[in-house]
Amino acid sequence: MKRISVFGATGSIGQNTLDLIARAPEDYDVVALTGASNIDRLAADAIRLGADIAVTADGDRLGQLREALAGSGVEAAAGAGAVIEAADRPTDWCMSAIVGAAGLQPGLRALRHGGTLALANKESLVCAGPLLMAEAARHGARVLPVDSEHSAVFQALAGEDMAAVEQIVITASGGGLRDWPLERLAQATPEDAGTHPNWDMGQRITIDSASMFNKAMELIETKEYFGMPPGGIDTVVHPQSLVHALVQFRDGALMAHLGAPDMRHAIGYALHWPDRRDLPVERLNLAQVARLDFAAPDPARYPALDIARAVMAGGGLRGAVFNAAKEAALDLFMDRQIAFTDMAPQVARTLDALEGRGCLDADTITLDMVLQIDREARDLTRGPVCVGD
C-alpha cells in the first residue's frame, strides 16, 4: 500500500488525483488531505477515502471542519501552519497541488520523507527551483512533474541523455482570448479570461493561460526541472492542445508527446511511475483529429514570455519576484482594479524596482530569502506607485 497525501485536494488537480485513487482504494493509504474554503468537499473526501487527517488552510473554519467530520474518526486541523505540519506525516507519494507560493513549504517538508513529490504546484519551481531540487537531492526524494507539458518532456526523455538534447519546446493553447483583436484585450474581464478552450482547470491558471503567464512560468519550470539552458527552451502556440511538448535531439529527431487534454494522464503517470497503468483518459483518433496547427506566439499579445526569458537569464531571486508579482497582479485583475493588459507591465515594474535595489542576485537561495522577497514583491505590486501609472 502506498501512503499518500494530497495538498490542494479540493481543487481541480486534487480532485482528479482523488478520482484516480478512488478507482483503486485498496492500493492507497490516505494520510492527509488539505483544502481551503470548500469544507464540505474536503470532509466528504477525507471520510470517503479514510484519510488520517483533513486540514483547511483557513484558520477560521476549524469548527466547521470538525462538525463535518464528527464521528468519522478523521482528525481535523486548520491554518497555514497546520497545512505545512501535515506534510511532516510520512508518505511515499505526495501530491503538491495547492495553487500559488503557499504550496512551497508543504512541498519542501514532504521531501524530507525521501519519497515522491508529484509537483503540480509550478510556483514552487518558479520561486525556488534550485532550493526545492537541492532539498530533494539531500533526502533522496524524487520530484515528478505534474504539468502536462513537463510530464510530456519527462516521458520523451526517458532513457535519453540530456547531453543529446538540443531544444525543448512546450506547447501553448493561446488561452481564452487567443482570437480577440489586440486592441480589445484591455477590456477583457476576469470572466472573459477565465474560460479555457481546451482544459478544465482552476480559475487562476485559466486566466494565466489567457495572459500566457502560465506558459511563462512553464518556461522557467522547464529550466528548473531539466536543467536546460534558457536558450534551448521555446514555446509554440498549438490551439488543439493535443501535442503537449516536443524534444529536439542533436541527431535531428523530434519526439512529440500527444494525448487528450486530461490532467489524469500526467497525474497517473506520476502516480504509477516507473510503471504505466491503464488510465481512464480518452484515446486520440488521429484520422478524426485530422490536423494539428502551430504558430509562433506574438510577443505583443503575450508580453509575459519575454519577462520570463529575462528572469531565466538572471536567475537568483528573480523567479520568486516574478511569481509573487504575478500572483499579486492577478489578484488585482480578478478584483477588477487593473486591466488584463496591466498585469505584465505591473510585474515588469516590480522586477525593475527590485533590480534597482541590487538585491536579486544570489548563488544559493534559502527559504527565508524567498519568503522575504515574495512579501516585498507583493507589496510593491499592490502598492499605489505601481497601480495604473
| Contact footprint for ligand NAD (CB under 6 A) | 8-14, 35-36, 57, 83, 97-100, 102, 120-123, 147, 199, 201-202, 204-205, 263
Q: Which is nearer to ligand NAD, 98 or 307 (CB)?
A: 98
Distance CA(280)–CA(322), nearest Å, equals 36
Q: Is 44 annotated as a binding residue?
A: no
Residue 205: CB minimum distance to ligand NAD, A? 4
Q: Which is nearer to ligand NAD, 75 or 166 (CB)?
A: 75
Q: Which is nearer to ligand NAD, 149 or 376 (CB)?
A: 149
Q: Is 202 annotated as a binding residue?
A: yes
Q: Is 223 annotated as a binding residue?
A: no
Distance CA(148)–CA(112), nearest Å, equals 26
Count of residues that interact with Mg ion, criterion CB under 5 A: 3
Residue 355: CB minimum distance to ligand NAD, A? 25
The residues facing 55 across adjacent strands are: 34, 77
Contact pattern from residue 111 through residue 150 relative to Mg ion, giving x for each residue in contact according to CB under 5 A and a dash for the rest: ------------------------------------xxx-
Q: Is 118 annotated as a binding residue?
A: no
Q: Is 285 annotated as a binding residue?
A: no
Q: Please classify residue 140 by burial: count the beta carbons closer than 10 Å to its beta carbon, then call 0-12 exposed, 13-18 middle and 19+ buried.
A: exposed
Phi, psi (deg, nearest 5) at residue 321: -65, -45
Phi, psi (deg, nearest 5) at residue 373: -70, -30
DSSP 13-51: HHHHHHHHHHTSGGGEEEEEEEESS-HHHHHHHHHHHT-
The residues facing 264 across adjacent strands are: none
Helix (H) or strand (E) holding 323: helix 318-334
Residue 173: CB minimum distance to ligand NAD, A? 12
Distance CA(358)–CA(352), nearest Å, equals 10
Q: By the 8 A CB rule, do 123 and 104 touch?
A: yes
Q: Which residues contact 343 (CB under 8 A, 6 or more apart)?
A: 211, 213, 304, 326, 329, 330, 332, 333
Q: Please classify residue 183 by burial: count the beta carbons closer than 10 Å to its beta carbon, then call 0-12 exposed, 13-18 middle and 19+ buried.
A: exposed
Residue 108: contacted member of Mg ion, ligand NAD, none (CB under 5 to 8 Å, by partner type): none
Q: Is 208 in the site for Mg ion (CB under 5 A)?
A: no
Q: Is 171 annotated as a binding residue?
A: no
Residue 147: CB minimum distance to Mg ion, A? 4
Q: Is 11 annotated as a binding residue?
A: yes
Q: Which is nearer to Mg ion, 105 or 148 (CB)?
A: 148
Q: Is 46 annotated as a binding residue?
A: no
Query: For the chain, what is the radius of gyration of the CA atoms?
Result: 20
Q: Which is nearer to ligand NAD, 113 or 122 (CB)?
A: 122
Q: Which residue, judged by CB position, is nearest to Mg ion in the bound state?
A: 147
Tell me which residue of 166, 303, 315 sits closest to 231, measured CA to CA.
166
Residue 149: CB minimum distance to Mg ion, A? 5
Q: Is 2 annotated as a binding residue?
A: no
Distance CA(244)–CA(155), nearest Å, equals 11
Write out the binding residues for Mg ion, residues 144-163 only, by CB under 5 A.
147-149
Residue 110: contacted member of ligand NAD, Mg ion, none (CB under 5 to 8 Å, by partner type): none
Q: Is 221 in the site for Mg ion (CB under 5 A)?
A: no
Q: Which is nearer to ligand NAD, 36 or 132 (CB)?
A: 36
Write out the binding residues for Mg ion, residues 180-199 only, by CB under 5 A.
none
Distance CA(212)–CA(300), nearest Å, equals 11
Q: Which residue, judged by CB position, is nearest to ligand NAD in the bound state?
A: 11
Q: Tell me if residue 234 falls in helix, strand or coil.
A: strand
Q: Which is nearer to ligand NAD, 267 or 307 (CB)?
A: 267
By the criterion CB under 5 A, which residues form the site for Mg ion? 147-149
User: Residues annotated in the binding site, as ranges?
Assistant: 10-13, 36, 38, 121-123, 147-149, 173, 196, 202, 209, 214-215, 218
